[in-house]
């Protein structure tokens, strides 16, 4: 073998992640649909125990990997949890993303604390996923949403699992709060709820159609004016063997607690529905409550809780009311559940997005860390900012992001 070839081979074999010169963002745009060989790009690594240290790191990091076509290894997955490693819902989410991107996974098994993902080309089509548990359907949607939307792939998802389960947004949150914000970025989806599923049985069934923006890249958004409270709507539900009167108790207690806790509530329309779900549209016995407040500027604030056997329906309602009142008392334009959901589209949009938030959650700071680690997006935080037309906003945080403009046609 010629001496020059030997030296070149040795250089390739000994080049590490810190020494390798990655393609620019513009180059990644042009290569995003092209398979990358192990020689051309080393495997990036992310410590899954950083900051919040939950499944969010895995979902966000692998979504960026699929979008930018960068091999990625996540280690210390959920290291601080009582049961570290992958649970069924995390496993099914990354397997769904791998199928959609025609990629490969290593270490993808329940309990694994390290997984490697080699993405390939995202292909439009129909894809199904079922963790076989009450694993959150909304989290599965979030795991694949932005790679599909940004790469222009019309994807239909047929998903089974839990629609209303703890530690994840309920399905209603996606349609009522998140969807209008996605439209502001230029993307959209439609969702058909066939059956609700609850812990522990699961059994929920949802069909989702993801609609990419007509033109790339995503557009930046500006949310700086909160407005005044204009309406409140919600749903109290029961199913199966749970006494239907529990829904009535939750509604009455919710209305009372809201009116007592926030004088502004007494001046607006409030519509809280109650329903006992038919077995044809819900699996298992459960109860719960969600409520959404909307302002004159279109800002929406969401709170919810699932009923528990050892908690009175009235107490469940008071917990939801307290959460909503807390959100309304802050001066942000999005609620605490929505902050981190906007980090990925902000990082991918072309231009500067500016959002007025309440105190940043640990989930939000974690999503920002992942975005800045894997892309060239830059975030800026200003506490108690001065906003044009509003003045100084005490207690709020101005969150700004200069996105990478992923998908923009550049020379």
Residue 321 belongs to domain with CATH number: 3.30.360.20
316-356 pLDDT, tens digit each: 999 999 999 999 999 899 999 999 999 999 999 999 999 99
Residue 10 lies in a domain: no
CA separation for the pair 171, 194 (Å, rounded): 12
Predicted local distance difference test score (pLDDT) of residue 387: 87
Does residue 33 lie in a domain region? no
Q: Is 142 annotated as a binding residue?
A: yes
The better pLDDT of the pair 2, 216 is held by 216
Q: Which of 150-159, 227-236, 267-276 has the lowest mean pLDDT?
A: 150-159
What's residue 237's pLDDT?
98
- Percent of the chain at pLDDT above 90? 83
On average, the pLDDT of the chain sits at: 89
Boundary of a domain, candidates 305, 329, 353: 329
Domain count, the chain: 3
285-313 residue pLDDT tens: 999 999 999 999 999 999 999 999 999 99
Is residue 9 a part of any domain in this protein?
no
The verdict on 92 and 166 lying in the same domain is yes
CATH of the domain at 204: 3.65.10.20
Of 329, 348, 376, the residue that ends a domain is 329
How is residue 290 annotated by DSSP?
Answer: E
Residues 310 and 345 reside in one and the same domain: no
User: Is residue 298 domain-shared with residue 345, that is, in the same domain?
Assistant: no
51 is a domain residue = yes
pLDDT at 409: 58
Match 């997005």 to its residue by tokens: 353
Same domain, 324 and 366: no
Residues 325 and 372 in one domain: no
Residues 211 and 83 in one domain: yes
Which of helix, strand or coil describes residue 295?
Answer: strand
Distance CA 177, CA 292 (A): 8
- Whether residues 274 and 353 share a domain: the answer is no
Domain assignment of residue 87, yes or no: yes
121 lies in a domain? Answer: yes
293 and 171 in one domain?
no
Q: Is residue 4, in this structure, part of any structural domain at all?
A: no
Q: How large is the average pLDDT for residues 72-101?
A: 96
Mean pLDDT calculated for residue range 187-204: 96
pLDDT band at 17 (very low <50, low <70, confident <90, very high): very low
Q: What is the pLDDT of residues 25-34, one digit of tens each?
A: 333 333 334 4
Q: Any known ligand binding at 114?
A: no
Q: Say if residue 167 is exposed, middle or buried (CB neighbours under 10 Å; 0-12, 13-18, 19+).
A: exposed
Statement to judge: residues 339 and 305 lie in one domain: no
Say if residue 337 carries a ligand binding annotation. yes
| Confidence (pLDDT) at 152 | 84
Write out pLDDT tens, residues 130-141.
999 999 999 999
Per the domain annotation, does 410 fall within a domain?
A: no
Cβ atoms of 326 and 335 within 8 Å: the answer is: no
| Mean pLDDT, residues 349-375 | 97
Is there a single domain that holds both residue 165 and residue 81?
yes
Q: Is the pTM of this model over 0.85?
A: yes
Domain boundary, last residue among 329, 347, 379: 329
Model confidence over 170-184: pLDDT tens digits? 999 999 999 999 999
Catalytic residue set: 363
146 lies in the same domain as 285 = no
**Contact criterion met (CB below 8 Å) for 150 and 103:** no
User: Is 340 marked within a binding site?
Assistant: yes
* C-alpha distance from residue 280 to each of 12, 161, 205, 241, 246 (Å): 59, 16, 11, 14, 20
CA 48 – CA 369 distance, rounded (Å)? 11
| 321 and 340, same domain (yes or no) | no
Instruction: Provide the residue range defining the domain that includes 158.
Output: 45-219
């Amino acid at each position: 073998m010629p001496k020059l070839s030997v030296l070149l081979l040795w250089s390739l074999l000994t080049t590490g992640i810190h020494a390798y010169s990655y393609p620019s963002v513009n180059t990644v745009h042009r290569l995003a649909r092209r398979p990358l060989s192990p020689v051309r790009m080393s495997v990036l690594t992310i410590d899954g125990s950083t900051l919040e240290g939950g499944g969010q790191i895995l979902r966000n990091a692998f979504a960026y990997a699929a979008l930018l076509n960068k091999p990625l290894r996540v280690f210390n997955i959920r290291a601080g949890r009582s049961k570290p490693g992958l649970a069924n819902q995390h496993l099914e989410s990354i397997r769904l993303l791998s199928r959609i991107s025609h990629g490969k996974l290593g270490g993808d098994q329940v309990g694994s604390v390290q997984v490697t993902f080699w993405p390939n080309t995202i292909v439009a089509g129909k894809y199904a996923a079922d963790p076989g548990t009450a694993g959150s359907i909304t989290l599965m949607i979030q795991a694949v949403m932005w790679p599909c939307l940004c790469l222009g792939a019309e994807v239909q998802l047929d998903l089974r699992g839990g629609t209303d389960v703890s530690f994840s947004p309920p399905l209603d949150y996606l349609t009522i709060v998140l969807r209008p914000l996605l439209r502001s970025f230029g993307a959209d989806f439609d969702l058909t709820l066939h059956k609700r599923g609850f812990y522990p049985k699961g059994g929920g069934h949802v069909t989702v159609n993801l609609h990419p923006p007509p033109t790339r890249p995503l557009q930046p958004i500006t949310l700086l004016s909160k407005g005044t409270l204009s309406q409140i709507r919600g749903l109290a539900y029961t199913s199966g063997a749970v006494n239907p009167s529990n829904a009535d108790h939750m509604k009455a207690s919710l209305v009372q607690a809201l009116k007592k806790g926030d004088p502004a509530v007494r001046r607006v329309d409030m519509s809280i529905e109650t329903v006992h779900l038919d077995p044809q549209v819900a699996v298992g016995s459960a109860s719960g409550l969600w409520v959404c407040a909307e302002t004159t500027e279109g800002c929406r604030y969401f709170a919810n809780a699932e009923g528990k056997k050892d908690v009175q329906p009235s107490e469940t309602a008071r917990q939801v009311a307290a959460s909503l009142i807390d959100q309304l008392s802050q001066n942000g334009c999005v609620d605490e559940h929505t902050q981190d959901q906007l980090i990925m589209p902000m990082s991918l949009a072309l231009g500067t997005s500016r959002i007025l938030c309440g105190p940043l959650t640990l989930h939000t700071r974690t999503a920002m860390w992942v975005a800045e680690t894997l892309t060239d997006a830059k975030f800026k935080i200003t506490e108690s900012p001065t906003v044009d037309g509003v003045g100084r906003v005490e207690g709020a945080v101005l969150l700004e992001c200069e996105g990478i403009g992923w998908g923009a046609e550049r020379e």
